[in-house]
Amino acid sequence: MLSMIAVNSDAHSIFFRMHRPNDEKRAVASLNPNGWEERLATLNVEAAQAMLQGCFALLC
């Protein structure tokens, strides 16, 4: 099962230019299917951010 999320890309140098000035700047990131239950079940914000860090690194 593949999961995807929309990531805010206001600060991204390339994705920022792909949208009209007043549109929301978003990019799609796919999540590794391994560990999806853990990502959805965690109540710890820091742990959830650490799990997603690899996905966001590709967009920065």
Q: Is the pLDDT of residue 59 over 70?
A: no
CA angle 19, 9, 18 (to 5 degrees): 20
Distance CA 36, CA 21 (A): 34
Q: Is the pLDDT of residue 56 over 70?
A: no
What's the pLDDT score for residue 46?
87
pLDDT tens digits, 7-51: 777 777 777 777 777 888 887 777 777 777 887 888 888 887 777
Distance CA 60, CA 9 (A): 9
Domain boundaries, the chain: 3-57
Q: How confident is the model at residue 55 (pLDDT cuts 50, 70, 90)?
A: low
Q: Which is more confidently placed, 4 or 60?
A: 4
